[in-house]
Each structure stands twice: as structure tokens, then as C-alpha cells.
Structure 1
């Protein structure tokens, strides 16, 4: 059976939510992208401001560098737990409801983090971080939401555009530590809590943008046009669907490895720099450059996927990640060397994530599509949680250089895993961004 899951050509329309109304799909696609871009800027600003000081707060409240990865681990664990729930909510009530709910919980998480610092309660800090992770799950789902109304020719571009717009928040966010003192003077809150106040406000603004702008819901319009009814897809069904699509499976595996490696090294870098005399401002700048590398060249990665295919871009990203860990490990206490390594780490993550996500978005269709996307996001976040948790332990045992070496081995193994998954069977071509596909 031949199918094409993209919208009709520009100038055509699809049935609206009322059944008789017509929706200008190309126009709705453009407006949806605008809404997602605006929300990503606000959400990225919040996430970027929090990531630069989370590990510092964990050490301060726990009293041990072993817990330096606690905030990152809790955040990524929250994203993993929320990804499946948000996917189920999107299937039941649409993208707007899922994204809005996630942003509201993330804003609550920022508030809980502030309270935890006021009370010097490390356990409460972890609870707030888990809720903040729901915002990370929203960011992950947003890149798939950008493809709900895409044609095969625009899928990679639309997905990478939403990833790219996180650059604004990623670069500016960590440097909001400069405003921490001003927020503290206005509110009387302890140091390093001001960035979480700003994070919560960013999430609330993103929530307002989604609620007002995402009407009609793009997933509802796409589902009505495709004739697919809403129904819950269990995780086991999503997993079975993924196993039948080896290209999508390879994409998920590559994204999982890339995210685990990136989180493990990145989460320990602020602590490593601080131990070598690095200031909070230096940490913020280093994390900004890393995050900029993760997001700024996403459209380039999307263009490469469309031109040469997802598989070579995914493999190249994993190779760059391995090289990045070597640079970080050999840099020692040199801040410039560590920064170069983190930039390479971000570039490798970008290539692997865009290519892997494009494979999932293109290779799986039908009612299982959103559930598989949620499973992919959950696996990605869970890998990050494991990477962050083990990173703190490895840092204490073998130091930053040893942690980088172990991460490099994992990235290299990821190349072999992706190659093996591609050899595991045949599925519709997900590498190219054009043409119809033959589905099993």
C-alpha cells in the first residue's frame, strides 16, 4: 500500500475540526511553526538559565560533589517520565493540551527549586528538578509537533527549525546569572535562585503563547485528514512498531547514545571548572557556547539529512561526540580546551539528534506515530538520567579525564549499535525527505 503522510500542495485545504469547515493547511503549518518557535525561545531561555547552576546548587545543598549530577539526573528523569504521558495526552486531547500541561508543571518545578534553596532542602531540590524536566519533555515533543502538518519535502526543515530556535534561550539563558544579584535584591531570595525565578516566568510566557496561538490543533487537523481516530497506544505496541522499522530504531538508538554521552560530560563540566578556579560567569559562558553548538547549526544538520541521508549524519555525529570526549579529557584544567571540547560535544549531539529524530518522524506513520515519538523521547531522557547519575560517581572515582574516556567508549559503541540496527532489516526509506513511501 502506498501512502504519503504530508499535507496537500499549497493552496488546498483539509476538513476542519467541525467536519464541514475547511482549514488552510499550509497557512496553519506556518502559524504552528511560529507558535512553536516562540515557545521554544521562552522555554529554552528557562532551561538554559537553570542548567548552568543546577550542579552548583546540588553540591551546595548536598554537601558532596558526588551529587553534582543530581539536578541533571532528576531533570532528565522527569523528562523521561513525562514524555510518555505527554504523548498519551497529545493523542487524547491534541498537542496544545499536552504542551500547555507540560509547561505549567515546569513552571511549578522552578518555584519548588527556589523554595528548596530557601529551606536548604536537597530532596526538595530534586523534586523541583523532576518537574523542570517536564519542560524538557515539552521541548522534545515540540520538534515532532513541527512535523504534524509537514510534507515529506519540508519535514527535516521544519523539525530542525524548532530545534534551531532553542539557540536564543540556550545562549542567553546561562548568562542570566548576571541578573541573579538584581533578582535577589528585589526579592530577598538567596544567591543562584534568581535564574529559576526567570525560568518559571519563561515557562509561563511559553504556556500563554501555546494556549493562544495553537488553534486549531495541528495534530487534530492532521488526524482528521488522514482518517485516523484517537485511541491510546500502549507502550508495548509502540515498542513493537519501532522494532518493525529498523531505520527508526537505529535513529532512536543513536539519539539515546548521543544524549547519554552529552549529558554525562556536560553536567560535570561546571563542577570541574569550579574546582580549577573557574568563576560562575566562566561556567555560564562555557555552557552557553556548548548549547549554541547544540542548536545553532540544527538547520545545517537538517539540510545534510535531506541531501545525504539520516544514517551518515547520525554516524558522523557519534564520531564527533567521541572526538569531543577526547578533547575534554586531555584538556585537564585548561578552560579553553574544555570549552572547545564542549562545543564539539554540542555539534555531535546536534547531528545525531536531528538525524535520528528525522528517521523516527519519517519512518513511522499511522495512529502509532505519536506513541513511538513519545517512546523515543522517553528513552532519550532516561539515557540522559542514567548518564547524569553515573557521571557524578565516575567523577569521584576517576576524575573528569576518566569520565571523558568512558563517555568516549560509549559513543564509539553507539556507532556499532546503529550499524547493527540498520542491518537488522528493511523498512521504508527515512533518509530522503521527498516522495511517497511503501509501508509494511
Structure 2
């Protein structure tokens, strides 16, 4: 049965928001650890079990495919039942997938391993979807910061996860399980704990409370509007366009940067450091990006994301292949531009989508991001193969400028 929230809770909305953000930060920290620990060794585990370097990219494809399905399905669950059951279910699915990966590695079963990686990917979509829950109860002038706080929390776990690869590998070995499956033991425990935190403490449900306090058909914080036109709302279209474009550009450049570096004589550790700095730049600036989206406005920040991504693409394209430092700067800019786009796009959608359709629309926007990421990953290899890394990075940067006319043509109040 769907949880209901009485209107009497309304006077405590600010207190409830603080509680919701605290619970989400804890669950996101746990989920970030699970996601990072698993992704760190996914390709290596597949390569070891399948005995094929050419198939080592399968985990990334399965993560993406699972995340696409997960974003759509979990968005619908949130819409019908609320954030608490939807997000808890997502983390539970990720825990189940992580346990399946361990079982697949222990039994040397490629079918079980690959199936479990897909399930694991479906659960990892929860981490990004949670940012919308942070914005549900926030007033319009604080939605960017609320979403940024939730997204930032993933950084805490994402930094800790890879550092536990060694200890978890030793634990797995002691239990007679391949060392590379160790991080998935951590992922299973972390995701299960995140699901439990949400089930027990995410009360009242932020989406259901927001829905109970808004008139039907009212875009959040922007007056009333006709029902049935959610997907045509300028803010929804603009927000989704900004996030999808940024995801396509970011994945295309990020995926091929290690290949480019190693191909020009850089050590694997150097390439790993560059990617680590990039991932940090994707999440660490979230509070600042949220503040800018609230104070300066969603549209200016979205437009700025296009300019930052262009700068990242041009710098990467012009960087001397021998200079890891310049490539690192370019990848940091790439992550920061992505962050600006995701935070401003999230706030635009939260402003525009009526409560009775909000979770479904948000889930579909993240489906678009997953598809864009898969497209960028596949296309990047083809472009680099035919034109080289400079051509790929430059073209991706120029493509990012598409967010500027998208923001200008689909004007919204903020």
C-alpha cells in the first residue's frame, strides 16, 4: 500500500527537509562506496573469468544497460509508491547484483557473472536518482543546493571504495573467493546497508509529502499549469537536454583518455590518477554548483556548463600527448562542466514537473542520460579510430555548445 502523508506535517517542512537530507547523505555515502568498489575491478574480473582482453569492456556495457532499465523502472516505482520504497529497492537490487557477481566469480560461471553485472548496473542508477529526492521538499531558492548536497555525498563513499580493494581482496581470498571479487563483497554490504537506512529512516516520504502539499497540476514553485503537458514543459525539456548533452560529451572524452595516454607511453598509474581527478571534479563541486544555480539562476549555470565543457574539449584536443598534467587539467574541467550541467538540469526539472508526474519524468530524464552515455562510449572509439583523440575531444567540446541555444530557445523564468 502506498504511504500517505497528512497535510498536518506541513508546518515542519523545513525540519523534515533537514532530516531527509541527512538520511540521503548517509545512504549516498554507502552507495558511493558500493558503486566505486565494484566499478574499480569490474573489467579486470571479467577479463580474468572470460580469459579475453577484448571482452573486458563488457562490464561497462552491462552497467550502462542495467542503469538505463533501472532509471526507468525505479522512476516509476518512486512515482507510484514514493521515494523511500523506490530508492530502497534500487539499493537492494544493487546488493543482489553484487552478491551475484561474487557467486559468479566463486563458481567461475560467466553467465552468472554477466547477468549479475547487469543487475548491479540497474541498482547503481539509484545513486543519481536520489538527487531528485533531495530537491522534493526544498523551496525553489534552495533546490540546487539540496540536489548538490545529495550528489556530493557520493564522493565520500567513492573515495573510500577503491582504497578498500586490497583489504576486501584479502578477505575474499581467505574465504576461498577470487581476490578481484572482494570489492563486490563490500558493494553488497554497502548497498544492503543503504537500503536499510532508507527503509527505516526516510520518513515521511519526501515526494509524497511534497505531493500532498501541492495542488494537482502545479509545477513545483511556479504556479499552476495544465495537466498532461509535463513533457512539453520548457523547464523539463531544457533540463533534460542539458544533462543528456553533458553526459554524451563527458563519457566520450573520458572513455578514450586512458587509451590515448597509454598509447603515448604513459603508465597505467598516471592514467588512473587523471581519471581519479576527473571523477572528483564530477562530484566535489556539487554544493558550489547548487549555490550558483540557486543564486545566479538555472539557465545561466546551464549555459556556463556548455562553455566549460567546450574549454575542456579544446584543452584536451590541444594538449601535448606527453603532458599528463595538461590532460589532467582538461579532465578536471570536463568533470566540473558535467557537474554544472547535472545540477542546473536537475533544478530545472524539479521546478517544472508537477508533483503527480515528477518521479516518472525525472526517471525518463536519467534514462536519456544513460542512453547518451552508452552512445558516447560507443561512438568515441569510432571517432578516435578514424580521426584521433584530438579530433574526438574537439568535436565533443563543440557539441557541448548545443546546451546554449537549448537554454535560450526553451526559455524558463530561471
TM-score (norm 2): 0.86
Note the C-alpha offset of 1:121: 4.9
Alpha-carbon separation, structure 2, partners of 1:39 and 1:184: 24
Note the C-alpha offset of 1:29: 0.8
Note the C-alpha offset of 1:393: 5.2
Check conservation: 2:210, 2:355, Cα contact below 8 A.
no
Note the C-alpha offset of 1:158: 0.7
Equivalent residue number for residue 412 of structure 1: 398
Note the C-alpha offset of 1:328: 4.2
User: Residues 353-392 of structure 1, C-alpha deviation per residue, up to 9 Å, x if partnerless?
Assistant: 1111111111222422222111111111121122233445
Does residue 303 (structure 1) correspond to residue 291 (structure 2)? The answer is yes
Note the C-alpha offset of 1:89: 0.8
Check conservation: 1:322, 1:412, Cα contact below 8 A.
yes
User: Secondary structure of the residue that 1:162 maps to in structure 2?
Assistant: helix
Check conservation: 1:110, 1:199, Cα contact below 8 A.
yes
- Bigger mean CA deviation after superposition, 282-291 or 104-113: 282-291
Note the C-alpha offset of 1:269: 4.6
Check conservation: 2:306, 2:400, Cα contact below 8 A.
yes
User: Residues 276-330 of structure 1, C-alpha deviation per residue, up to 9 Å, x if partnerless?
Assistant: 5635x65654443222111111111112222322223223223323333444453
Equivalent residue number for residue 328 of structure 2: 339
Equivalent residue number for residue 180 of structure 2: 192
- Structure 1, unaligned runs of 5 or more: 1-15, 230-236, 432-440
Check conservation: 1:40, 1:139, Cα contact below 8 A.
yes
User: Residues 216-242 of structure 1, C-alpha deviation per residue, up to 9 Å, x if partnerless?
Assistant: 21112111222549xxxxxxx999523
Instruction: State the superposition RMSD in angstroms.
Output: 3.0
- Bigger mean CA deviation after superposition, 193-202 or 219-228: 219-228
Structure 1 segment 71-82 matched on structure 2, within 5 A:
71-82=59-70
Alpha-carbon separation, structure 2, partners of 1:377 and 1:422: 19
Equivalent residue number for residue 382 of structure 1: 371
- Structure 2, unaligned runs of 5 or more: 218-225
Structure 1 segment 224-263 matched on structure 2, within 5 A:
224-228=212-216, 241-242=230-231, 244-263=232-251
Note the C-alpha offset of 1:131: 1.7
Structure 1 segment 269-280 matched on structure 2, within 5 A:
269=257, 276=265, 278-279=267-268
Note the C-alpha offset of 1:410: 3.2
Alpha-carbon separation, structure 2, partners of 1:392 and 1:124: 28
Q: 1:411 to 1:76 in 2, by over 3 A?
A: farther
Equivalent residue number for residue 42 of structure 1: 30
User: Secondary structure of the residue that 1:216 maps to in structure 2?
Assistant: coil
- Bigger mean CA deviation after superposition, 132-141 or 63-72: 63-72
User: Residues 368-425 of structure 1, C-alpha deviation per residue, up to 9 Å, x if partnerless?
Assistant: 2222111111111121122233445556x35xx8256325413422323x23333445
Check conservation: 1:68, 1:268, Cα contact below 8 A.
no
Note the C-alpha offset of 1:344: 2.1
Does residue 32 (structure 1) correspond to residue 32 (structure 2)? The answer is no
- Bigger mean CA deviation after superposition, 211-220 or 111-120: 111-120
Check conservation: 2:316, 2:394, Cα contact below 8 A.
no
Q: 1:122 to 1:391 in 2, by over 3 A?
A: farther
User: Secondary structure of the residue that 2:279 maps to in structure 1?
Assistant: helix
Equivalent residue number for residue 406 of structure 2: 421
Alpha-carbon separation, structure 1, partners of 2:302 and 2:172: 43
Give the number of the structure whose residues are more often helix, by fraction: 2
Equivalent residue number for residue 5 of structure 2: 17
Equivalent residue number for residue 253 of structure 2: 265
- Bigger mean CA deviation after superposition, 306-315 or 53-62: 53-62
Q: 1:297 to 1:209 in 2, by over 3 A?
A: same
Equivalent residue number for residue 123 of structure 2: 135
- Bigger mean CA deviation after superposition, 184-193 or 143-152: 184-193
User: Secondary structure of the residue that 1:210 maps to in structure 2?
Assistant: helix
Equivalent residue number for residue 111 of structure 1: 99
Equivalent residue number for residue 84 of structure 1: 72
Q: 1:148 to 1:21 in 2, by over 3 A?
A: closer
Q: 1:69 to 1:299 in 2, by over 3 A?
A: same
Q: 1:413 to 1:104 in 2, by over 3 A?
A: same
How many pairs were matched up?
Answer: 401
